[in-house]
Amino acid sequence: MKQKEDKIILKGDIVFTPTKEKFEIHKDSYIVAENGKVVGIFKELEEKYQHYVIKDFSNKIIIPGFIDLHLHAPQYPNRGLGLDKELLPWLETYTFPEEKKYEDIQYGKKVYTKLIRELWRVGTTRCVIFSSIHKESTKLLFDLFIKSGLGAYIGKVNMDRNSPDYITEDTKKSIVDTEEIVIEYKDKSDLVKPIIAPRFAPVCTVELLESLGYLASKYNLPVESHLSENIGELAWVKELYPEFANYASVYNQYGLFGQTKTVMGHCIYNTEEEIELMAKNGVYAAHCPHSNFDLSSGIMPVRKFLDKGVPLGLGTDMAGGHCISMADVMVAAIQSSKMKWLETNKELQPITISEAFFLGTKGGGSFFGKVGSFEEGYELDALIIDDSSLADIEPLSLEERIQKFIYIGDDRNIVERYIRGRKVEEPEF
Ligand code: GUN
Ligand code: FE
């Protein structure tokens, strides 16, 4: 019988994390979804579902799609370049010169088509993206994402001071261009939406921050930026904003800190007051461990954020991080937390594998709504994992199989991707 458009059943070994404490595992079971949302998971199919077409992935693992809460699309060609530097020199020598190139949308098209294919390949089903300052290339990025079937928030970067001339915007133009993009794309797609993206406080004037906060509130738009990533950056913010109690207060003052849904990259050096403000305002932290190693930024105290109830997800921060796979970021998050554990005299406990998996799926997914889990009512974003190439001599439990995939698997093990219950094919442009 022909599959009904809005109904799908996936059969296989189902693994997800409704809570961070442990994996929920349903061996050889069925996920039923209608209108893109999970109806339930069943060991046996009830009569009413019998006539649905079933996608049979027996012996394969079905997990939620990966969520990247922080990456820079125009930095894709820079993966692996200049990572013997720290943040601020790296921005000056590698990042800004690369981002300038996106004034040419033909260059943007070449890079962005490759980037989107790569995200599809590694199983990132939704992501929160910074583009560059350029309006036309940013619109192109929206159009390509919409075509691909992947989900994203995309932010045109805003920066109007303290950067090289070739990448510093006129304040008024920055605001007008941002609003134009917002109006054009806010209702164009259910899966690809605009987000407000002040690069970070030191390269934005107060006038710009104020206007961006106004736009976020006027259109009820989410916000993304960077916070407390690097010691030099902290000193710079202190010098530029001496009247503020701390870095977070700058964003908070201008309506860019949880007044609408907000995600801040890095959050390595926040004070207790700042972490409390994040918890109170529901501001997400995007933990980007690869980037934090690559740019010698520091080790985020993830456990502290979890204990304080700050919403948390993971990000590649590509190209500050060299790696685009969220499974690799989960591993780095565990490794990083283990170093923090040693560094704090074993006070801040390392995160477990189920916690890392939670952060890279449901934790980050909650920024998009009911995403990143297979509980009833969640959007069915799923990856089908064929881990037969990872099998050793002795059979493993499902929980061990998922550990192996996260640590030593890669995109070759991902055989299909689903978003909102629909299979997403490799993007062709
Ligand atoms: N802070 C401001 N801009 C950037 C950027 O492009 N990457 C990283 N990692 N940090 C930033
Ligand atoms: Fe970043």
3 pLDDT band, cuts 50/70/90, is very low
User: Ligand 1: which atom is nearest the Cα of residue 295?
Assistant: 9
Nearest to 266 by CA among 302, 304, 236, 307: 302
- Per the listing, tokens 């390392």 go with 350
| pLDDT tens-digit readout, 134-185 | 999 999 999 999 999 999 999 999 999 999 999 999 999 999 999 999 999 9
User: Is 158 part of any domain?
Assistant: yes
pLDDT at 157: 98
Mean pLDDT of the chain: 97
pLDDT at 394: 87
Residues 94 and 166 in one domain: yes
User: Is 133 part of any domain?
Assistant: yes
Contact 267, 301 (CB under 8 A): no
Q: How many domains does the chain have?
A: 2
ipTM tops the 0.90 cut: yes
Kindly give the distance from the C-alpha atom of residue 379 to the centroid of ligand 2, in angstroms, as a whole number. 27
Furthest-apart CA pair in the chain: how many Å?
68
Range(s) of the domain holding residue 52? 7-65+373-423
Alpha carbons 272 and 239: distance in angstroms, whole number:
21
Which of 368, 384, 406 is the last residue before a domain boundary? 368
Could you check whether the bond before residue 319 is cis, i.e. omega within 30 degrees of 0? yes
User: Is 242 part of any domain?
Assistant: yes
Six-digit token pair at 356?
């890392």
Residues 262 and 377 in one domain: no
Ligand 1 in reach of 200 Cβ (< 6 A): yes
Residues 329 and 301 in one domain: yes
Which of 351, 368, 385 is the last residue before a domain boundary? 368
Kindly give the distance from the C-alpha atom of residue 374 to the centroid of ligand 2, in angstroms, as a whole number. 29
Burial 342-375 (b: 16+ CB within 10 A, else e): eeeeeebbbbebbbbbbbbbbbbbbbbeebbbbe
Pocket test for ligand 1, best of 90, 92, 94, 95 (most atoms within 8 A of CB): 95
DSSP summary character for residue 80: T
Ligand 1 in reach of 331 Cβ (< 6 A): no
Ligand nearest to the CA of 294: 1
Contact 420, 96 (CB under 8 A): no
For the domain that residue 258 is a member of, what is the CATH number? 3.20.20.140
Residues 141 and 211 in one domain: yes
Kindly give the distance from the C-alpha atom of residue 412 to the centroid of ligand 1, in angstroms, as a whole number. 30
Residues 335 and 408 in one domain: no
User: Is 429 part of any domain?
Assistant: no
| pLDDT tens-digit readout, 184-241 | 999 999 999 999 999 999 999 999 999 999 999 999 999 999 999 999 999 999 999 9
User: Ligand 1: which atom is nearest the Cα of residue 233?
Assistant: 1
Ligand nearest to the CA of 158: 1
